[in-house]
Structure 1
Amino acid sequence: MNTSINKADGAGEEFLAFRLGREEYGIDILKVQEIRGYESVTQIANAPAYLKGVINLRGTIVPIIDLRIKFNQAEVSYDQYTVVIIVDLNQRTTGIVVDGVSDVLTLAPAQIKPAPALSGGVDTEYIRGLGSLEGRMLILADIEKLMNIDDLAAIDAAASSH
């Protein structure tokens, strides 16, 4: 089997790989503005639990969403590995808190498989597919679909109350 990637059939896509618990996710690198260490946030009254608060990023008020809480992870701890990925969501700068960032991966189209259809009301709409690379399996997330309309409304309400 030839493992070299033929550039003629698509150069592949670049994904930022990050961890949430035991799972590894990938998001489109073009949506990522920067990666920062977790810092204290200004909390907002009556915000959903996953909306940790806001930070002032060079004059822009940026809402910080903890994806671990959004994904109902059992244990959410903040340590030196906890990072905030600053992403661009529909012209909105938003920070997402994750357990850690591993690397940037280029996946060829052949390395991306469609997401499986899961029963039991599991929401897989935000999953673009599964990426496999050298024994690793990444859940490729569409970061815009991950933040649904309710989340964006909460973010807007939070931002406008500041």
Structure 2
Amino acid sequence: MTALETAANQTQAANDPIEIIAFYLGEQQFCVRTTSIREIRGWAKSTPLPHASPEVMGMMNLRGAVIPVINTGRKLGHGWSEPTERSAIVVAELGGAVFGLMVDRVSDILTIDQSLVQPVPEMTSGFDKSYVEGIIAHQGDMICFLNLGRMFPEPSRSDFFD
């Protein structure tokens, strides 16, 4: 493959559409790729577990399988989010581990060009961008694009998925 063909393939990949699910935590909008999302459920109370990780709200029964429910706000360092009637559980799967992410509300499922994902700006202190894949400017809003694989890497998943 020539350098010109390689550059053309990279340009095409940057314009390939990606599907995301957008949701709110407080007033801030976030999104993740739909490829790791199994379903979206309305809020249902979870059963707390003693000595669980601080972000684990508890466990829920998903059609006979018991899965952990994560307080997404807490996981992202925003503090504990209290569920409301508008809250939802976004059921995700990573490497065979199934878990629920409690979000304040789901806003949209979008198909966007990958070229719309902007890099996270460099900041001097107090900001850990390891969970963030990029920022998407969409209809006057800024959507923080999260990377679930970085939020829940293989070794840490065993803390609450086994």
Same fold (TM over 0.5): yes
Letter in 1 for 2:93: D
CA–CA distance in structure 1, aligned partners of residues 144 and 28 of structure 2:
8
* Counterparts of residues 3-152 of structure 1 (less than 5 Å): 9=12, 10-74=15-79, 76-148=81-153, 151-152=156-157
Contact 1:107 1:131 in 2 (8 A): no
Check the 8 A contact 1:20/1:99 in 2, yes or no. yes
| Contact 1:107-1:133 at 8 Å conserved across structures | no
Is the CA contact (8 Å cut-off) linking 2:20 and 2:33 kept in structure 1? yes
Give 4+ residue runs of structure 1 displaced > 6 Å after superposition: none
Q: In 1, distance between residues paired with 2:69 and 2:27?
A: 22
Unaligned 5+ segments in structure 2 are 1-10
Q: TM-score, normalised by structure 2?
A: 0.83
Q: CA deviation at 1:30?
A: 1.1
Alignment partner, residue 4 of structure 1: none
SS in 2 for 1:125: coil
Please give the per-residue CA displacement for 1:61-105, whole angstroms capped at 9, x wherever unaligned: 111000112233356222111110000122111100011000011
CA distance in 1, matches of 2:80, 2:96: 31
CA offset at residue 151 of structure 1? 4.2
Paired AA for residue 32 in structure 2: I
TM-score, structure 1 normalization = 0.83
Tell me if structure 2 keeps the 8 A contact 1:35–1:83: yes
Aligned length: 150
- CA displacement 1:37-67 (0-9 Å, x = unmatched): 1212121110122101111111211110001
Task: Find the counterpart in structure 1 of residue 159 from structure 2.
Answer: 154
Identical counterparts, % of pairs: 24
Between the aligned partners of 1:41 and 1:151, the Cα distance in structure 2 is 21
How far has the Cα of 1:140 moved from its partner?
A: 0.4
Q: What amino acid is aligned across from residue 105 of structure 1 in structure 2?
A: L
Q: Unaligned 5+ residue runs, structure 1?
A: 1-7
Secondary structure (helix, strand or coil) at the match of 2:68 reads: strand
Root-mean-square deviation (CA, aligned residues, Å) is 1.9
| Counterpart AA for 1:154 | D
